[in-house]
Amino acid sequence: MLRREARQRREYLYRKSLEGKRAADYAKRLAIRTALAEGRPIPTELKRAQPRLSAADAYADALHDAPTSHVDDEYATAARAPPRVVVTTSRAPSARLSQFAKEIRLVFPDAQRLNRGSLVITELVAAARANGMTDVVVLHENRGQPDGLIVSHLPYGPTAYFSLRNVVMRHDIEPEHLSTMSEAAPHLIFHGFDSRLGARVADVLKYLFPVPKPDSKRIMSFCNFQDEISFRHHTYMREGHQKEQIDLKEVGPRFEMQLYQLRLGTLDQDQADDEWVLRPHMNTAKRRKALG
């Protein structure tokens, strides 16, 4: 198992190392194409490489012409099989964090909850890989209040770090009559994820859920406003003789989350590159809207 993981990691790093060369060749081929189409002479620095680049152009097509990156490969196979998510916590969790972990486990269909025990991060990720998990979700707390959520996609990443605030659990929403939570695959609503980083974060979140059936009555919404994501969980029922009225019911939990780090590797890789990090100057009066 360890030898196979090491081989897969080497293959991944090799594909990543080729990205710069492929992108440079694509830019050169594009420059030659543009010059020929406009009737201009080919740039001097490209004349020697023109035969090789023109030969590569003969095998190019519209769908696969532009170079791909390891970012494209991370979720390339996500649609082939439903995600398998494992939910765990930091060590020695409080009763409130343990309850929150149970509710988060129900948010993701077919997810599994793992008692952390004495497992270190490397052992946790290795166990998830060995059991064919696609994502690891780790919850953290501060003084008994959930305040952090980490999503790490396997086997190569990315890993997104979120801070949590205003956590309201299902027992707080329905203190007297707590109904059974549906575990059907939900419909997802993403609002305000308009930038390139926003689309990246939306991918991290949406691939935690399987494709829903058209008649699913469960809705998960992620609404971004000023780089803070509001998560809400609802179910709905159609009422009335013509079923034109919709009864929307909040199920919970609900919370606000903010991305503060996005890494290209998995949770156990300390040397992974940072794709994006929240800097202190982003919180000044001239706020940077990164996600939307």
The C-alpha angle with vertex 231 and arms to 228 and 237, in degrees rounded to 5, equals 150
Cα–Cα nearest to 267, from 141, 71, 146, 135: 135
Task: Indicate whether 124 and 247 sit together in one domain.
Answer: yes
Q: Which residues pair with 136 in a beta bridge?
A: 86, 152
Binned average pLDDT, 10 residues per bin, the chain of 292 residues: 66 68 76 82 81 70 59 73 94 94 94 92 91 95 95 91 94 73 91 92 94 92 94 85 76 94 89 84 55 68
d(CA 33, CA 117): 60
The answer to the question of residue 73 being in a domain is no
CATH number at residue 244: 3.40.50.10480
Domain ranges, residue 254:
85-277
Task: Indicate whether 2 and 132 sit together in one domain.
Answer: no
Of 68, 100, 121, which residue is a domain's last? 68
Task: Indicate whether 134 and 213 sit together in one domain.
Answer: yes
Task: Indicate whether 58 and 177 sit together in one domain.
Answer: no
The answer to the question of residue 29 being in a domain is yes
Task: Indicate whether 34 and 105 sit together in one domain.
Answer: no
Query: The tokens of 265 are what?
Result: 């590797």
d(CA 188, CA 200): 16
Task: Indicate whether 33 and 99 sit together in one domain.
Answer: no
Q: What is this structure's pTM?
A: 0.78
pLDDT at 151: 97
- Three-state secondary-structure class, residue 78: helix
**What is the number of domains present in the chain?**
2
Cα–Cα nearest to 141, from 191, 204, 94: 94
Task: Indicate whether 41 and 136 sit together in one domain.
Answer: no
Task: Indicate whether 156 and 233 sit together in one domain.
Answer: yes
Task: Indicate whether 63 and 179 sit together in one domain.
Answer: no
